[in-house]
Amino acid sequence: MQEFMVQVTFIYGDQKKTVQGKNGQTLLQIGLDNGVPIEHACGGNGFCTTCLCNVREGMKNLSERNTREENMGIVSDPERLACQAQVQGDCTVELTEY
């Protein structure tokens, strides 16, 4: 996988923060690396839903939904688990808990 930078905009509460991350990182990794307050009670292993987010733009730029997400009941757009969604292009997500 070619390494290039992606741009992710996080919306939480009344804040909006646009940051950069590496192609292939998860939304959780990019957010935490850039000071975005993303809950992740299970440590980013896909066994809870505290990092649940709604993808506002760029769903096509995220990896396909995986079985961990499906097992947690995350089965339809725009919902994704930030710890499981790998970024492959620019996107905008709204955090549901922070």
Concatenate the DSSP letters of all residues of 70-97 into one string.
HHTT--STTEEETTT-BBSS-EEEEES-
| pLDDT score of 2 | 54
- Give residue 71's domain range: 5-95
Which CATH number belongs to the domain containing residue 62 in this structure? 3.10.20.30
Instruction: Please say whether the beta carbons of 79 and 52 come within 8 A.
Output: yes
CA dihedral 98, 16, 45, 54 (to 10 degrees): 90
| pLDDT score of 97 | 75
Q: What is the pLDDT of residues 1-52, one digit of tens each?
A: 457 899 999 999 999 999 999 999 999 999 999 999 999 999 999 999 999 9
Q: What is the pLDDT of residues 54-93, one digit of tens each?
A: 999 999 999 999 999 999 999 999 999 999 999 999 999 9
Degrees (nearest 5) of the Cα angle 42, 44, 48? Answer: 45
Domain count, the chain: 1
Model pTM?
Answer: 0.95
Closest CA to 58 of 31, 81, 89, 85: 89
